Structure 1
């Protein structure tokens, strides 16, 4: 059965309010804590847990089976399946399988190594009822404490407006995958997840497709998830250049296609890399680079030596106060002790109109 058979009149698939979707691969050391937290939900509607095991070689399957009676005793159905092939098929495939075997009208995504707070399902469900075509996230607490400090601060402090304006940054989806909650109908319109396997950013691909379809982004402000950092996380297998290309393409599609010209804020390595990654048509729209570094500004010109055009493009390098908007900002957020943010404020620019962050 497919992920979207709820739309075809299979009434069995519309009897549960929320399905918690958990992909599993060699997660036995975390599963007890993860599953206990699902069992502790204060949600008063009907709940189901759908788990798919992606060729685990540890005792994940046995741990899952040992919880079935506990869930059923509390009136929560638990659907468990998986495969035992020699190789795992990846997170996208595993999530799709867990969704396919589930029956909830709403989907709550949960990683096997994370822990949800007792109010997570109820709060996100209430939000989703009001915003059916939206990916709903929530605040997180990162463990171990202090790991990925800037990233965690960004997740929790980004505003509702920035959930949409900062989708081009290297942080990835502004509503992070382990916190996703959405209607099955919306998932079916956008999905399924890409099943390319290891190294494929299935969450970012889905996130961008959701935006293309006109989907919204929202976040429950409270911390509703303990978000674990460890070296075995699937995120670490995604290639940086794959993410870069996706971001550049989406930026060109959604923003640069609407602008007649623009300035790249950063005359250094990242700004030049962005310029080189653009289509020829968008390279021609770059009126200048700007920077705060006097050494770069004094050079006055960036020459794109690898260009096949003759003469080779020569782009002015200006002080940011001399440059004109709109800007693509290629300076990392939260890395300059507030200097970048203050500079943007003093120019009285509006994010999402006069500039977008890319780094």
Structure 2
């Protein structure tokens, strides 16, 4: 991965935002070492304030030379957007690819996603949950099939756990908005398309996605995603993005109230983690929708 690359195969920087994920990061690094991509790439680990000894782990990592690992301190501001942007700032390659610390890319991921940049400016891929998660975890967390991922009521979007673009594109757009704390990948995708860039979503599972397992983790993630989705829709209301409907959210919450975890699962037919996610996401939509004008009756 250190030889000179032909002009028609620009070098790639794979950027991984990390916060206290050292215990699972090695799965992703090993997956990157198994890529069938035949040209040079480097891996930038952007440390967003970790306290688990990540820097020492990377600097002495057994794959450091093979992956041309580079550690970047991005602890100034919490958030994946800030970490991705700081990683992009130090990248010297023509292409940026992004994945997450707790997932595992498939062997063809980098080859497929970079090849699509021959025709498009921003590329994303589908995710699958079978590889890294138990059946019980998957049953507790709703997850759309790849054919339905990357879709919204406004414009399609790429997922931050699996995306790539030219470095010039990323910098021209100013990177990801650091004040958008969730659904920032959706906002970046919409902004790119509004700016005239062409996006493509490979509706195939090229990344193994790791689901949250704890009740608190599920609640926090779902609430943040709901709030972030409402924030992003509010940002794009003036260019035609439809708002969320409070009536539908209220009906959904009422239905969830009668299926709450205090009742037997045999009666509600809903795992507690799933109930928590559904409630948290809708409460997040309400909070964000009221603040960012993306909620109507």
TM-score (norm 2): 0.67
Is contact 1:134-1:218 (8 Å) kept?
yes
Residues 56, 100 of structure 1: alpha-carbon distance in 2 compared, 3 angstrom cutoff: same
Match of 2:158 among 163, 166, 175: 175
Between Structure 1 and Structure 2, the one with more strand by share is 1
CA RMSD of aligned residues (A): 3.5
Correspondence for 1:243: 229
Match of 2:42 among 40, 48, 56: 48
Q: Output the CA distance in 2 between the equivalents of 1:79 and 1:151.
A: 33
CA shift for structure 1 position 22: 0.5
Alignment pair present for 1:224 and 2:206: yes
Is contact 1:136-1:175 (8 Å) kept?
yes
- Greater RCO (Cα-Cα under 8 Å, separation 6 or more): 2
Is contact 2:113-2:164 (8 Å) kept?
yes
TM-score (norm 1): 0.57
Correspondence for 1:77: 68
Match of 2:110 among 112, 117, 121: 121
CA shift for structure 1 position 148: 6.4
Match of 1:215 among 197, 200, 209: 197
Residues 239, 46 of structure 1: alpha-carbon distance in 2 compared, 3 angstrom cutoff: closer
Residues 251, 39 of structure 1: alpha-carbon distance in 2 compared, 3 angstrom cutoff: same
Q: Output the CA distance in 2 between the equivalents of 1:24 and 1:110.
A: 10
CA shift for structure 1 position 207: 2.0
CA shift for structure 1 position 147: 4.8
- Residue deviations 1:247-285 (CA, integer Å, cap 9, x gap): 2552551367xxxxxxx998x812899xxxxxxxxxxxx
CA shift for structure 1 position 187: 1.2
Q: Output the CA distance in 2 between the equivalents of 1:84 and 1:190.
A: 22
- Mapping of residues 1-359 of structure 1, within 5 Å: 17-67=11-61, 70-72=63-65, 74=66, 76-82=67-73, 89-131=78-120, 133-141=121-129, 143-144=132-133, 145=135, 146-147=138-139, 150-153=142-145, 156-158=146-148, 166-168=151-153, 174-196=157-179, 199-230=181-212, 232=217, 235-236=221-222, 238=224, 240-254=226-240, 269-270=247-248
CA shift for structure 1 position 66: 2.5
Q: Output the CA distance in 2 between the equivalents of 1:148 and 1:175.
A: 24
Q: Output the CA distance in 2 between the equivalents of 1:225 and 1:174.
A: 16
Is contact 1:32-1:63 (8 Å) kept?
no
Q: Output the CA distance in 1 between the equivalents of 2:241 and 2:102.
A: 36
Between Structure 1 and Structure 2, the one with more helix by share is 2
CA shift for structure 1 position 58: 1.1
- Residue deviations 1:165-211 (CA, integer Å, cap 9, x gap): x4337xx96422211111112212223212237x4543232122112
Is contact 2:31-2:105 (8 Å) kept?
yes
Residues 148, 122 of structure 1: alpha-carbon distance in 2 compared, 3 angstrom cutoff: farther
Is contact 1:48-1:78 (8 Å) kept?
yes
Correspondence for 1:339: none
Total equivalences in the alignment: 237
Q: Output the CA distance in 2 between the equivalents of 1:189 and 1:84.
A: 24
Question: Max radius of gyration: which structure?
Answer: 1
CA shift for structure 1 position 127: 1.1
Q: What are the ranges of 5 or more consecutive residues in structure 2 without an aligned counterpart?
A: 1-8, 252-295
